[in-house]
Homo-oligomer: A and B are copies of this chain.
């Protein structure tokens, strides 16, 4: 049986996911809802140990490599943003204070862009994972999610990036706005039509959202069509605004299967060549790449 060598951690605002690894082999996996948003500084170590304590071998030091919001100012330890253009990983990896002597804790820094102002925390690790699997790749990486990110990658460096609130706005509108009364489920036709409308006339986005409700009231429009159309309108408008990114480029989408499929479908109608890569796989590959940057002495002392 393989011996645990390191811990990989994806620590977002609302979730915590951990893996126990030997090289690139996953031995253990666990998750909790102890996201950064619910923890004060003293709460991070207990939240991590609650998931991994049973995995840790005694008599040796195991490194935990963390990406995501745990490195923000309100996180476990601040890992200051690195300024682009730069490789997705590099520079000083912040070490977080940890009382348990079986662990050393290392937090990957995010990236910042000055003009226009923008920041990334977590996605840089996924981009690094993607590049470790695809050395020498140039193009555009699209990471759809609560806050979608588009990043232009060239010669191994992130050259520019842009954040879109698309996923968060969809969640707010579909769960809490007046539109919630008219939408439920998913019908692909609604997505296709909404995305086409959103891409064609993104400047009319604010004017179109209420039609999702009005069509329900006046035409008895199917709620599954309506919900997918709302998603399409928003993603279509994102794609229109992201045109400087994808135009004339190949696009690697890193995300969950269902969301990536919708982006790929919409980009396909624009004849943009697209590949899809699993988000968790890229996170693990990126955390492994970050581990390789640690000083040698911090590697686990296994025989």
A interface, CB within 8 angstroms of B: 13, 81, 112-114, 116-119, 147, 162-166, 168-169, 172-173, 176-179, 202-207, 209-211, 213-215, 217-219, 234, 237-238, 240-242
Whether the Cβ atoms of A237 and B206 lie closer than 8 Å is yes
Residues of B with C-beta under 8 A to A202: 202-203, 205-206
A205 (CB) vs chain B CBs: closest residue: B205
Residues of B with C-beta under 8 A to A210: 118, 147, 163-165
Among B177, B211, B238, point to the contact of A116 (Cβ < 8 A). B211
Whether the Cβ atoms of A218 and B176 lie closer than 8 Å is no
User: Sorted from nearest, which 5 A-B pairs have the closest CB atoms?
Assistant: A202-B203, A117-B214, A163-B210, A207-B241, A172-B172
Copies of this chain: 2
Most B Cβ at <10 Å: residue of A203, A210, A219: A210
A215 (CB) vs chain B CBs: closest residue: B117
Whether the Cβ atoms of A173 and B169 lie closer than 8 Å is yes
Among B13, B205, B214, point to the contact of A206 (Cβ < 8 A). B205
Min distance, Cβ A77 to any Cβ of chain B, angstroms: 17
Interface of A is mostly: helix
In addition to A168-B177, A205-B206, A206-B238, 6 A-B residue pairs with Cβ atoms within 8 Å of each other are: A117-B218, A147-B178, A164-B210, A203-B203, A203-B237, A204-B241
Min distance, Cβ A224 to any Cβ of chain B, angstroms: 17
Whether the Cβ atoms of A172 and B177 lie closer than 8 Å is yes
Whether the Cβ atoms of A162 and B207 lie closer than 8 Å is yes
Min distance, Cβ A15 to any Cβ of chain B, angstroms: 15
Whether the Cβ atoms of A240 and B203 lie closer than 8 Å is yes
Bound Cα distance from A169 to B209, whole angstroms: 10
Whether the Cβ atoms of A211 and B117 lie closer than 8 Å is yes
Bound Cα distance from A209 to B214, whole angstroms: 26
Residues of B with C-beta under 8 A to A116: 211, 214
Could you list some 17 contacts between A and B, CB below 8 A? A13-B178, A81-B218, A112-B214, A114-B218, A163-B214, A164-B206, A164-B210, A165-B209, A166-B206, A169-B177, A172-B172, A203-B237, A204-B241, A206-B241, A207-B238, A207-B241, A207-B242
Residues of B with C-beta under 8 A to A217: 112, 117, 119
CB within 8 Å for A176 and B176 given contacts A118-B210, A242-B207: yes
Min distance, Cβ A149 to any Cβ of chain B, angstroms: 10
